[in-house]
């Protein structure tokens, strides 16, 4: 009889925590399937999901299975923002990362573009005035590369309060939830909010990128007499 009472209590206890799980997860944009479908007790799954929401290292499977929405930040400069649907009051562009390194924009492959992971400073080091190349192996960022424009500054992974992922750099942001100007401030996805996430080393990367592009443009001008005003450097750095 004592065993029967114990099993009954455990069953009721698990049902209660299952309700807690359903109520919590209903308000969240992302909970790993491995936690949701785990054979662990409901209470353990609940607290595992809360702990996972603090994780800022995204896996390849997660990056490539999630739908992403992209926009430029105003710091990129008007050359980039004036053609961005987000800044015209429209929804941010839908993007998809694929395991082979290619990228889709609105369902269409982006010729000449690919992505890869890179090592970046850990959160505790992000305020240091050092390049990420001085602190390899502490964390994981995502780099988008164009075959002519080169590697853009790394995007650092953050978590939104709804547990979705945000990949933020000084010039662009990717979120795995839709974005538009009207809701950005309310959801904490405005430039004002996102700029607080920028790490010092990310700005140093941006400056390095602009310097390298300026050098290329200067070389082209010297060789061909081209117009450097049409270069691909970004805005304020």
The residue with greater pLDDT, 3 or 79, is: 79
The H or E element containing residue 158 is strand 155-159
Under a CB-based contact definition with an 8 Å cutoff, are residues 178 and 69 in contact? Answer: yes
Say how far apart CA 170 and CA 212 lie, in whole Å. Answer: 17
Average pLDDT (58-64) is 95
Residue 209 has pLDDT above 50, yes or no: yes
* Of 9 and 113, more confident: 113
For residue 92, what pLDDT is reported? 96
C-alpha angle with apex 31: 28 to 37, nearest 5 degrees?
130
Supply the pLDDT for residue 144. Answer: 95
- pLDDT tens string 121-145: 755 444 444 433 333 345 688 999 9
Distances (CA, A) of 12 to 4, 5, 38, 41, 100: 12, 11, 19, 12, 46
Do β-strands 165-168 and 172-175 pair in parallel, antiparallel, or remain unpaired? antiparallel
The tokens for 84 are 């961005």
More confident call, 13 vs 124: 13
Closest CA to 235 of 27, 96, 87: 87
Residue with token string 């990949």: 167
pLDDT (0 to 100) of residue 80: 94
In this prediction, residue 140 carries a pLDDT of 81
For residue 100, is pLDDT > 80? Answer: yes
**CA 30 to CA 162: how far, in whole Å?**
8
pLDDT in tens, 153-173: 999 999 999 999 999 999 999
Q: Is the pLDDT of residue 220 over 50?
A: yes
Regarding predicted confidence, which is higher, 45 or 6? 45
More confident residue, 98 or 119: 98
pLDDT (mean) for 209-234? 62
Burial of 166 (0-12, 13-18, 19+ CB in 10 A): buried
Report pLDDT digits (tens) over 82-94. 999 999 999 999 9
Highest-scoring range by mean pLDDT, 133-137, 150-154, 212-216: 150-154
């Amino acid at each position: 009889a004592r065993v029967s009472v114990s099993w009954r209590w455990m069953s009721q206890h698990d049902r209660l925590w299952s309700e807690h799980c359903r109520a919590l997860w209903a308000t969240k944009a992302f909970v790993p399937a491995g936690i949701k479908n785990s054979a662990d007790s409901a209470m353990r799954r609940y607290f595992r999901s809360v702990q996972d929401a603090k994780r800022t290292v995204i896996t390849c499977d997660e990056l490539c299975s999630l739908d992403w929405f992209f926009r430029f930040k105003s710091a990129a400069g008007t050359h980039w923002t004036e053609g961005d649907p987000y800044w015209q009051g429209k929804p941010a562009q839908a993007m998809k990362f694929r395991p082979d390194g290619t990228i889709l924009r609105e369902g269409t492959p982006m010729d000449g573009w690919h992505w890869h992971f890179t090592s970046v400073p850990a959160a505790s080091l992000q305020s240091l005035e050092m390049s990420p190349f001085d602190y390899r192996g502490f964390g994981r960022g995502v780099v988008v590369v164009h075959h002519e424009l080169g590697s853009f500054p790394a995007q650092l992974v953050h978590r939104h309060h709804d547990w979705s992922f945000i990949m933020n750099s000084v010039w662009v942001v990717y979120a795995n939830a839709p974005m538009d100007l009207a809701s950005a401030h309310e959801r904490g996805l405005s430039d004002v909010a996102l700029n607080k996430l920028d790490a010092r080393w990310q700005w140093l990367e941006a400056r390095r990128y602009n310097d390298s592009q300026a050098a290329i443009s200067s070389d082209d001008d010297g060789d061909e007499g081209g117009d450097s005003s049409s270069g691909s450097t970004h805005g304020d750095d």
